[in-house]
Structures are given as C-alpha cells and as structure tokens.
Structure 1
Amino acid sequence: MSPITPALIKNISSSATYDNPQLKRRFEVFTRDGKLYQSEYGLDADGKESFRDTHQLEWIIGAGVNGFGAILQDDHHLFQAPLSFYSKAMDWEPSPGYEFADLGFNRPITPGCISCHSGRPNAVAGTNGKFEATPFSQLAIGCERCHGPGAAHVQLMSGEPVHSSGKGPLSDTMIINPARLTPYMADNICMACHQAGDVRVLKPGKTYRDIRPGLPLDETLSILMVPPTPEAPPSKDHVDHYYSMTLSKCYRASKGKLSCITCHDPHIEPSREEAPAYFNSKCLTCHTRQSCKLPLETRMQQKPADNCIGCHMPQRDIQVISHSTATNHRIVATPDEPFPDVTFMQTTAALPNLIHINPAHRSVSGQQADPLPLLTLLQAYGELAQDKPEYVASYLKVLSQLEQTQPNDPLVQAALGRRDLKDGNFSNAADHLRRSLQAGPAVATTYADLADALTHLGQTAEARPLIEKAIQLDPFNPITKKMLVVNLIQAKQYPEAKKSLEDYLKVFPQDDFMRQMLHRAESTTQP
C-alpha cells in the first residue's frame, strides 16, 4: 500500500474511461495538479449528464501482481474506488463487487480488509469504515506483523514495566521468530491474512489490532468454513492458502511439519523469472529430481523449464476478481488428482455444519479443540444465513440458547430484537432493542432497528431521533438516510423531507430513484 504522489502517478496508468452499459454508467480516471481522480456519471435519455460524482484518490492498494485498487477518504471514512487497474488487461475496469452493482464511492473499507493490506491501520472499533484522524500509523506491512510489537519488547528489555497478556507459551512482549514456533503456530501468523474461510468472527471485545504472533489466532479471530462435499468440493483458493495446503499429500505425509514458511521466506520475494528455481529448491528439500515421473528432457522443453510448481501448484483464475490468477496451494501429483477422503470428514459432533479451521488448541494428533463460544457461533451463523438459508435454523437455535444463558449481552438482545422485528412482534422487538442499547455501546444498526419497530407501532416522532442517531454513527449508510426521508414524509414535514433528500443525494448521487423523487418534489413546490 502506498500514498498517491506525483512521482507514483508517473509510474501507473492514470487515464482511462470505462462504460458500463448494464448500469448505464460511465467512469473516468484522470490526473489534475499532480493528483489522481476517479469520476462516475450517468446519462439521461437526451444524452445529458444526470449526475457526476468525482473524488480524489489518496492511496493505492495491492502489489500489482494482478493489479491494484484505490482508496479515497471522506469525513474520516475510507472507501474503495469503483475502478481498479488490472495488470493482465493493462486497463482500469470495475473493482471486485462493482461489476453488477452501482456502489458509487460508498463501499466502506473495513478493518478486516485493511488490516491485511497495511501495516498499522487506525480503524475506529465498532464503526463502518471510520478511521482516526491519522488513518495509518504504518502503510506497508512491517516487521511487527510477524515478529510482534517492538516497543513492548524494548520496554521489557529496558526494565520498564509493561503490560503483557501473559497467554500462551510466549508473551506478547517478546520478539517472535516464527521459525522457532511449532509449524501450526507459525501458520497462525500467516492465516490471519491468507486464510479467509467463509466467515471470520472476532471474539468478544477483540479487534484486529489484538492479533499477536506467537499466540493462537483463535484467541482473537475464529475462521470457519462451510463443509465441502464430493458433489461440491473446494473450488476457491484466492485467500484460502492454508486450508488448501492441508489437503496436500505433502502436508499429510509430513504429519503437519510442512508449513507456510517451509516454502515461503517472508523476507524474500523472488521475481517471476527467479520463482521456478527458487521454489524447486524448496521442493528438493524433501524430494529428489528422480521423484518426478516426467522425463527430464520433457521437463526442460517446458517454459519455464523444469518448473515444479508449474505442474504441481498450477495457477488458476480467481473467480471473484477479473483478470486475476492465484497459485493453487493444494500440491497435486497430477491435475486431476482427487481430493483426499479427509476433505469431506472435517466436521465434529459438536459442530456438524461448519469446519473450524483454526481452533486454538489444535494438534496434528487429533486432540479435540475447545468448543466455540455461543456468541461466536451466533455471529458466524448470522452472517452465513444472509446468503445460505440452510443456516437460519442453526442461528435461531443458538440465539435461543443465548437468550437463556447470556440474556444481558447487548449482542444477544440486539439479535432477539431483529428476530422479533422480522416476525412482526414489534413491541417485543422494541423491548429487546432498548435493552441492547442500555447494556452495550451505541450501535447504528440497533438504533435503526428500534426506529423501525417504533415506526410499525405508529410512533413516528419517537423513531426520528433514533434514525438521526444511527446516521450520526454511520453517516454513509443509504438505508438509514432513506429511513429519515420516509419518516419526515410520514410526518408531513415536507420541507424537512426535501432537505433530507437533498442531503442523501449529495452522498449517493447515483441513486436514480431518489433523484427522480427529488425532481418530483421540486416540481410540486415551484409556483
């Protein structure tokens, strides 16, 4: 990650136009006065601009192997830019997620994303894309990501008192050498960014800043995956490198001794030309040149010649990112090698419908891990249920358990409130949501849900300050801003509704429906 400077602009493609006929939008990338900008605009039936939204880009994100994206800043919030640059196409095209939806300049950069792309981001906990006045204390991934916090170590060695968690075999005040950790604990460092799973859940009270080398990742972050089946085997390897590696015969034959740093030295990034020989040397620490069944003469005729990873860890397209490829980290003898039986036998009696990829007390010998906290499961099932209805029942079951065991937890009360809101039990929903706000920190979605419940109960005036509070906490959320417009219309406060609509369109000018709504409002108020 790097700041966009005049010197950087000279070395990147900084002029482009992209048309999206499906969305009826046109995007531009251009420079002005040594700064990089992106612009989005729409055309009406007469070919005239219906709106134009332009923002300065402040950071480039990505190493450029597949390409890079851009980040902008607005009122201490960071957002992804609509266009990204793709190295294979050598052009600017829609950023991942923008191909089929017009998200404008309002897709927030979340802590879970940016913590893997920068050294020390300063995200404000509990917010949606808000950062401190200095968004980054360190842009590039630095030494501390793998070796632990240096300042705490200096204090300790200087005899100064220093706070330590004191958990695990190593203190978070020590400088960590991953090579001296067990292979699995070393992999925990890599998993924080190179193992996505289907859902990642922070433990209660934790943030991404709490991840420490040398301590089990699961103490801070649990990574879970929908179990594959023979009919639907694992198919993605974008950022699921650890899981893919564990399905390799090499990994299983090593009984867990093979780890990420067996092949990767974090301090060395071989060039494309150097990579074949570099990784061949890693393979040959366990194998010999005679291990390969392909004749040497045939191997030498390939391009690049005698390339182990070219055959056994082939590149494949990343389905969710255009023009992009990733190395398959399941090491295979042949391209059609079937998945091992263990692939489809990784659930447990305690967790029959999810794979817990990084349990804190995992061991190669198969030692049973501690069960996941119910609050972690609630969040995991809740996130999965948004796109996978088969997880709704599990979510509701865990929620019912938590209602009995942790009824005063604000997250539980908020979930109970949303459940009752969806079921039409508006009075019960309001009670739960009030309890959540009384017990825990201010959460924008809880204020919005309570406003929704009160609106259904006919308490429009009481709902309005709650909507305004939700907007204050999450000012770039289109749903709550629309809620305020509707609330004011219901209260027949038309001038205020019109102003609220104008404020909405300043942030979301790409919303054709709301723009037409404002046009009608202006037409009816003209003399």
Structure 2
Amino acid sequence: MAEPPTNADPAVGYVGTQTCVKCHEAEHLSYLDTKHSESMERVDPDKEVSSATYHHDASGNDYEVFRRGDDLIHREIIRGVNGAELARTEHPIVFTLGSGTHGKSYVYHDGSHFGQSPLSWYEDTGKWSMSPGYDVPFHPGFGRKLSTECFFCHVGAVDRKRGNPNEFSILEEKIGCERCHGPGEKHVARYRENPKFTGADNTIVHPSKLSRELSEAICQQCHLQAAGKALRANRDEWDYRPGLPLTDFRIDYQYRLGDDTMRVVGHVEQLHQSKCYQQSESLTCITCHNPHQTVPAAAAIDHYRKICLSCHTDDSCGKPHAVRVADAQNDCSHCHMPAQGTEVPHTAFHHHRIGIHSGATTENEPAVGLSSVLDVARLPEIVRKRCEALAKFQVAQENPGNSNFRDYGIEAAKALIEVKNTGKSDPDATTILAMLARSQGQASIAGDLAGEVLAKELIPSRPRLESLRLLAGLAYQRREFDKAAEYYREVTELQSEPFDYFQLGVAEQNSGNTDAAINALKKTVELAPHHVNAHRFLAAIYQSQGRVDEAGRHSQLAQAHAMRLEQLQQKTLK
C-alpha cells in the first residue's frame, strides 16, 4: 500500500475553505455549482415557502410555517380529542438540511442544543409533510435533538466542546474542500514558502490519484450507512481523514440475507453487488460523479451513457435501438439503475446495483446475521469481534421485538466479555457491556462496569453520558434518590431529553428538593408537552403547596393528554 498523504496525520490542522479559495477560486466555483455544496445552509426566509399550514392526520397535530420579522418560524400545535389546543411549541429555524433536490429538513437551536423540526419540505411533491420517521401517531415533535453525528454528512467542521457530541458549534456550515482533500495546513505552508513549487505534492489529497479503496472511502464516509455500525475503539467519525481506510475509524455492517432495500445512503452496498463493479478494477464513485461538475439535465442521458459505453457497446443491450429510444430515450440507467422509492417519504433514488432489474417486487428473505460491507480481513480478530458486537447491539436496540435479532444481546455480551478479558476494552465497549448486563438482570455487574467508565472517561463523551444514565437508573431503583439526582443533574447538563428531566424531577422531590423538582418537571413538559406523568407530578406538588390554580391546570392537562394518547393508541390498533 502506498504511503498515505502527509496531511492524514492527525496533528495536521484544518484551515477552512476560504483559505483554499485564495488559490483555487475556479475549483471552488465549480464545486459551488454542485448539490454537495448545498448540503446545509443558513436559512433565508426569502428563499423558503414561509407561509403554510399542515394537519398531520396520524397524530392529530397541526403545524404552521410563518415569518416573524427576519425569522422563519415552525410551530406545532397539539390538539385534544375534542380539537381543543393543549400545547404549542415553536422555534426559529436556523439551518436547512439537504440540498433541496428532493427536499430538506429544518434545524433550530435552543441556545445549547440543536434540534430538528418535525416538518420537512419535499420538492418532488411540492408540499410540506412530516420529517423522515415522524409520519406516525407517536413522534418526538420538536424533542429530537441533533448530535454531531447527525451533522456529519452536512457540514464542513464542528467544534466538539469538551468532547460532548450533544453540545457543539458549527465551524463551517457547508461541506468544504477539506472533507475530500484533507486538512490544508501543510499544503498552505508549502506554497507560502515556495509559491512556484512544482514537484509531487503529498501534502493534500487528490482523490483520483488514490487507490479505489481509498478514493471510495472519501465518498463512503457519508454515502455508506448500512444496517449497523461500530466506531473503532477510541475513534470518532470526525477523526477520519481522506487518504486513509474508512475501516481504520468505523466498520459498517449489512444483513447477510435479503437486504436489497433502497435507502438514501445505500449506494455503496448496491454498487458492490454489481457485476460492473466486480469485473472492473477502476469503476468507482467518481467514475460517474464528478464533485466539481454538475451535469445539466438536458445532457444527463448522453453524459452517463457515454460512461457506460466506455466498457460496453451499443450492441450490448438486448433491446433494439428503436425500442430503447422509444421507451427511455436510450437512457441506460432507466433500465439498469431504475429509480425506486426509499425509506425517506416522497423520495426516489436511482438503484446503484447496476444490472438487470425485472421490475417485479420480490419478497426479501429474512435479515439474518451481519457482515461488514468493506473488507476487514486485515484487522485483528478481537477488533472484528468487538465491532460486530457493537453493531449487533445497535441493530437490536433499533429493532425491539424483532425475532430475527432476539439473540443479538447475548451474542454481543459474550463477545464483549471476551474483549474485556483480553484487556483491550474501551469506554464504548465497556458501557455497552454494562447496558447489556443490566438488561439481563445483572445490576451489580452493570454498576461496576459503568463506574469503571466514569472513573476513566473524564470528558463528557457518549460513554460517560450513558454510564451516568445507567447509574442514575440503578440508584433510582434502589430508592437512593439523592444519588440518582446527582447523576441525573450531570446527564441533563450533557443532553436535553424529557425522560432524564422527568427522572431528575422525581428524584429531587423524593430528596426533599421541591423547587429543583418543579424546575426539572417544567423542563420536561417544555420538551414534551404531552408527558402525562410530568403534568400529574407537577399537579401533586402544587396541590401540596396550596397552589390550587396551578395544580388544577396541570391536572386538566394530564387528563386531556392521557385521553389524546389513548385515542391515538386505539387508532394504531385498528
């Protein structure tokens, strides 16, 4: 394997796109003409559909989009069984997510955390509708907070404050030069010292000069999101640098059987299944997709057909020329990469398994087992076991009740115990092992493992957060409310979730800290206005204090939200 570019060294710093533009203006302008450059944008109300209403039948909620001065506002109105308004939540929108080709989602910032609007715009239909995953009776509304992982494929760079993936600032709002070419510090220094340098330049990445594996890794960092994923020990997705194997940072897994599912980011697995890919050593993402060139719609058929004909001939197709022209304007992709619906509503993408597609809908085989999408044979066996265990844990968590994955927890626990016994465990693996121990009734072991993570993981990382939450839950079960409150206080400093605030409120009240309990419960209903038990608990506390009006208001809200939730539950059972 060739030596990696020198800017793959983690010590090399990023300089930002505007520094690159000073010498590469033409390249930057060509990039701005592509959709990658529009992956996220600061919202401009003048460019948005800024006056709309939408009723969501499944949840019964109403949504409004409107302007208030220079702000674009998204509002959610929760209505009871009789149509009366129970709660309203609204946020100014700060960013749009997505290029807008098929649609875009919207992001707000509440001062410490980013969150997603439940409403998205779908260009293919020209209408507002629920965001992906929200078109169900029970959805989080504005309660879904966005982590650095959510922004990974949309922004150029983030500042991970103290290592907390839930609290950060965005340093570069668009995907920039350095996401594909690597950090520019060494490159800039070389040409400042010697503006006329003409030799081989290994201070910056040229994707077309990399091996197929390393070139594809640049695209795969965003366009490979399979059934499950595991970060390598002590790695983060943001640690990846162009010119290095993606599997040095994370491993993505797909089901061994029956997973030809269309997904917005399923291109890699599909392409690898294609005979065109398997029988070529050079076919890769940038064969067809030039990140510095936008193909005009009028020229697209001829452009992509020319690429196909670089290997095939006009006679390769079994259909007569006249039929091909009549049926699909002689467009190869129409038959061999047909557009199909994805998991995102109202969105269809071209299938990247280049080949013969019958068009018939076939029933998939059951998803059984996981295998890595990329080749990981070079990695030590213990690394492969650890990563597969983490991926199995993720798949099981995301598919509760699915019988295909009922043994994944036990299998993951066995593998992670083996990892720990080798002395090669890490905070992520230990935390997940602790969570698995608790789920299997091993509270003492779970507590010891989580405590071990807290003692070693001093930054506010995801393992520390999950270990704190686990220890808080165990203390709560033991009715050690002072200790539970202590843990939940730190949890709520690191992440803003209604469940944690509710648990904190109950623990504070049981510890005699009534004012703190009220504040935590008020935050709960701010984040989740439909949280019945938070309203009930607030009503009980206010009643004990003689604050009859406030007690009555929350009692009524609890009853109204409970009736609404019961009605929705009945609808889902029909």
Query: Normalising by the residue count of structure 1, what TM-score does the alignment of the two structures yield?
Result: 0.85
RMSD: 2.9
Distance 1:393 1:380, change over 3 A: same
Residue 156 of structure 2 corresponds to residue 119 of structure 1 = yes
Question: How many angstroms does 1:489 deviate by?
Answer: 4.0
CA distance in 1, matches of 2:211, 2:445: 50
* 1:365-416 Cα shifts (integer Å, max 9, x gaps): xxx6553344433322221221232312220111221231237744444334
Confirm whether residue 11 of structure 1 aligns to residue 32 of structure 2.
no
Would the aligned equivalents of 1:9 and 1:36 in 2 still touch at CA under 8 Å?
yes
- 1:440 is aligned with what amino acid? E
1:477 Cα shift? 1.6
Q: State the AA in 1 paired with 2:486.
A: P
- Give distance in 1, aligned partners of 2:287 and 2:360: 23
Find the partner of 1:243 among 269, 287, 296.
269
Question: Residue in 1 aligned with 2:115?
Answer: 79
C-alpha distance in 2 between matches for 1:517 and 1:382: 34
| Aligned twin of 1:308 | 332
Task: Encode CA deviations 1:282-336: one digit per residue, 9 max, x unaligned.
Answer: 1111112122221111222235x11111111010001x21110011000113436
Distance in 2 (CA, whole Å) between partners of 1:73 and 1:159 is 42
Q: Which residue of 2 aligns with 1:164?
A: none
Is it true that 1:506 corresponds to 2:540 in the alignment? no
Structure 1 counterpart of 2:129, which letter? E
Cα distance change on mapping 1:202 and 1:407 into 2, 3 Å: closer
Within a 5 Å distance, the mapping from 1:57-456 to structure 2 comes to: 57-100=93-136, 101-124=138-161, 126-132=163-169, 135=170, 137-156=171-190, 174-228=203-257, 232-254=258-280, 256-303=281-328, 305-318=329-342, 320-335=343-358, 353-359=369-375, 370-371=380-381, 372-386=383-397, 387=399, 388-406=405-423, 409-441=426-458, 442=460, 443-456=464-477
Q: What's 1:348 paired with? A: none
Structure 1's 240 and 22: CA in aligned 2 closer, same or farther, altered over 3 A?
A: closer
Shift of 1:108: 2.1
Q: Is the 8 A contact 1:385 1:395 kept in 2?
A: no
Q: Is the 8 A contact 2:525 2:534 kept in 1?
A: yes
1:404-436: CA deviation from partner (whole Å, max 9, x where unpaired): 123774444433433343333433433332222
Q: Is the 8 A contact 1:313 1:332 kept in 2?
A: yes
Given that 1:225 and 1:354 are in contact with CA atoms closer than 8 Å, whether structure 2 keeps it comes out as yes
Tell me, in whole angstroms, the C-alpha distance in 1 between the residues paired with 2:453 and 2:124. 49
Return the alpha-carbon distance in structure 2 between the equivalents of residues 37 and 484 of structure 1: 31
Query: Identity of counterpart residues, as a percentage?
Result: 26
Where 2:141 maps in the other structure, the secondary structure is coil
Cα 1:10–1:495 change in 2 (3 A) is closer
Matched, 1:50 2:86: yes
Distance 1:181 1:78, change over 3 A: same
With over 3 angstroms needed to count, the CA separation of the structure-2 counterparts of 1:146 and 1:25, relative to structure 1, is same
Q: What's 1:365 paired with?
A: none
The separation in 2 between residues aligned to 1:500 and 1:185, in whole angstroms, is 48
Q: Residue deviations 1:191-238, cap 9 Å, x none?
A: 11111111222222222332111111111121122212xxx2422242
1:152–1:109 CA distance, 2 compared to 1 (3 A): farther
Q: CA deviation at 1:9?
A: 2.6
Structure with more contact order per residue of length (Cα contacts < 8 Å, sep ≥ 6): 2
Distance 1:237 1:408, change over 3 A: closer
Distance change in 2, residues 1:86/1:123 (3 Å): farther
Partners of 1:403 and 1:108 in 2: CA distance: 32
Q: Secondary structure at the match of 1:79?
A: strand
Task: Look up the SS of the partner of 1:40 in the other structure.
Answer: strand
Over residues 22-43 of structure 1, what are the superposed CA-to-partner deviations in whole Å (9 max), with x where a residue is unaligned?
A: 3231111111212211001112
Please, which runs of 5 or more residues in structure 2 have no aligned partner? 1-38, 195-199, 400-404, 549-574
SS at match of 1:311: helix
Shift of 1:126: 4.6
1:216/1:360 contact within 8 Å kept: no
1:33 is aligned to 69
Would you say how many aligned residue pairs link Structure 1 and Structure 2?
490
Give 2:144's aligned amino acid.
R
**Residue 61 of structure 1: how far off its partner (Å):** 1.4
SS at match of 1:499: helix
Q: Which has the higher helix share?
A: 2
Contact 1:467–1:484 (CA under 8 A) maintained in structure 2: yes
Against the structure 1 CA distance between its residues 263 and 45, is the aligned structure 2 distance closer, same or farther, given a 3 Å change threshold?
closer
8 Å CA contact retained: 1:119, 1:138: yes
The structure-2 alpha-carbon separation of the partners of 1:220 and 1:99, relative to structure 1 and needing over 3 Å to count, comes to: same
Contact 1:359 1:370 in 2 (8 A): no
SS of the residue 1:421 aligns to: helix
Contact in 2 for aligned 1:211/1:220 (Cα 8 Å): yes
Aligned partner of 2:252: which letter? I
TM-score (norm 2): 0.78
* Alpha-carbon distance between aligned partners in 2 of 1:61 and 1:426, rounded to the nearest angstrom: 41
Structure-1 separation of matches of 2:360 and 2:193: 56
Task: After TM superposition, give the deviation of residue 74 of structure 1 in Å.
Answer: 1.5
Question: Gaps (5+ residues) in structure 1?
Answer: 161-169, 345-351, 362-367
Match of 1:469 in 2: 490
Distance in structure 2 (CA, Å) of the matches to 1:323 and 1:150: 39
